[in-house]
Structure 1
Amino acid sequence: MSSARTLPWDWYPGTIPDNVVLADDTYIETSLSFELCRSQAPVGLRLGRGSAVYKDTMFDLGVHGRVEVGEYALIHGARIVCDAELKIGNYTLISWQVVLMDTYRLPFDLIERRQALERAAHTPTRSPSADIPAQPIWIQDNVWIGFDACILPGVTIGEGAIVGARSVVTQDVPPYTVVAGNPARVVRHLDAGGITRGIDHEK
C-alpha cells in the first residue's frame, strides 16, 4: 500500500480508510471493499498477518463497527455487516456471497419499520436506519464457511467448525462440527484431523 493508502494494482480509484490497520503481508484486492465502511472507531478493521481479502468482499461497517480478522484468514466475496463487533479467527476460510451480520438494522415491528422507511425517503442516501442494538459475532480459529451461507446476529462459531453452503446459522455452532441447512443443524462431528462420525438422527 502506498503512503496515500492506495493499492498499486487497484482498478478502482479508492483509498484504504485511515482506521484500517494492515499487517505488512496482508493482501487486499481492491479498495472498493471499503465503499460502505463508515466506521469512526479508532480501529474500524484490523487484518492479521498473511490474511487476504479478495474481489467482491464488502465491509459494510456502521459508525461504531469494529471488525478483527486473524492471521492467514481468507475472505472471498463476503458481505460483512457490522454495527458493533465482529471477530474472525486465524486460518478461517469465508467463501463467496457469505453474509455475516451482527445487526438487522431495521425493527421487526411493522409500524416502526414503516416509519424507518419513510424517514429514509427524505435522507440524502435514502438508507433506512433505526436504533437497533447489534449482537457481536465471533468466528473462532480454523472455521470454514461455505458459499451463500448467512450468519445472523449474536452467533459464535466454534473452533474447527464447518458451515455448509447456503446454510442460515441462527444459533451458536459447537467446535469441530459440520452444520448445514436452514436453520443450520449439526450433521457431523469432527476432530482436529477430520471427520470422525455422523449424527444418528433416529435417537
Structure 2
Amino acid sequence: MSSFFGFLQRILNRIESGVSREQIKRLRSAGHGIVLGRGVKIEHPECVSLGDRVHINDHCWISVLTENRETGRPPVELQPDLRIGDGCYIGRFGTLACINRITLGRKVMIADRVFIGDAAHGFVRADLPICEQYMTSKGPVEIGDGTWIGIGVSVMAGVKIGRNCVIGAGSVVTNDVPDFSIAVGVPAKIVRRIDG
C-alpha cells in the first residue's frame, strides 16, 4: 500500500513541477534557479519579474490586477509592475496584491502568512457593495535589500521599507521604515536601529 502512495506522490510532484515551469515561462522576466512551491498561483505573470534564486514557498498567491472594475462604470486599464529581486525568499501562504507597483530588493526574507499590497478596496459609494467598487492605491510598495519581514505581517500601500530592516511578527506597516530599523506593532513603530 505504501508503494502505491509513493507512486501517487511522484505523479503529483511531476504535475506540480510542470505547472511551475509553465508559470515561470510566462513571466515578464525570470532569472535562474527559481523555485515555486506547491500551489503557488501567479495571476498575470506577464506583469511579474523574478530575479535569480527566488524561492516562493507553498500556497503563495501573487494577485495582479490589470483592469479595475466598478459596477455601472467603465473598466480602467492598469499597468501593474511586480518585481522580486535576486535571492528573495517568500514563506508559505504569502499574498502579494498588486495594481500599481511592488518591488522587493535583493535577499529579502519574508516569513509565512505575510500580506504585501499596494491596493485596497474602495468604499466611497454607499449605493454599491464594497466588492463592486474600484480598487484604490495610495502608492507603490518598496522593500529594500536584506530586509526580514516576520510572520503574519501586513505591509500596506504607499510604504517604503529600507535596507536591512526587521519587521516584527504580526505588525501592520502603514508608514515608511528607514534603513537599518526594527519596527513592531499595530501600526508598526520603530523601536530601535540596527547599529553596525
Scaled by the length of structure 1, the TM-score of the pair is 0.75
Q: Is the 8 A contact 1:12 1:32 kept in 2?
A: no
User: Is 1:153 matched up with 2:157?
Assistant: yes
Q: 1:49 to 1:13 in 2, by over 3 A?
A: closer
Q: Is the 8 A contact 2:151 2:169 kept in 1?
A: yes
**Aligned position for 1:29:** 37
2:85 alignment partner, one of 45, 70, 74:
70
TM-aligned CA deviation for residue 188 of structure 1:
1.6
Report Cα offsets for 1:96-115 as digits up to 9, x if no partner: 111001010323x3xx1651
Unmatched segments (≥5 aa) in structure 1: 1-6, 118-126, 193-203
Q: 1:159 to 1:113 in 2, by over 3 A?
A: farther
Q: 1:71 to 1:113 in 2, by over 3 A?
A: farther
Report Cα offsets for 1:25-51 as digits up to 9, x if no partner: 1111246422xx146xxx411111111
Question: Percent identity between the aligned chains?
Answer: 20
**Aligned position for 1:198:** none
Q: 1:12 to 1:161 in 2, by over 3 A?
A: same
Unmatched segments (≥5 aa) in structure 2: 1-12, 67-78
Q: Is the 8 A contact 1:176 1:190 kept in 2?
A: yes
CA distance in 1 between partners of 2:169 and 2:140 (Å): 22
Q: What SS does the corresponding residue of 2:182 show, helix, strand or coil?
A: strand
Structure with the higher helix share, 1 or 2: 2
Q: What SS does the corresponding residue of 1:191 show, helix, strand or coil?
A: coil
Report the count of equivalent residues: 169
2:97 alignment partner, one of 58, 81, 89:
81
Q: 1:28 to 1:20 in 2, by over 3 A?
A: farther
Q: Is the 8 A contact 1:87 1:137 kept in 2?
A: yes
**Aligned position for 1:185:** 189
CA distance in 2 between partners of 1:22 and 1:149 (Å): 26
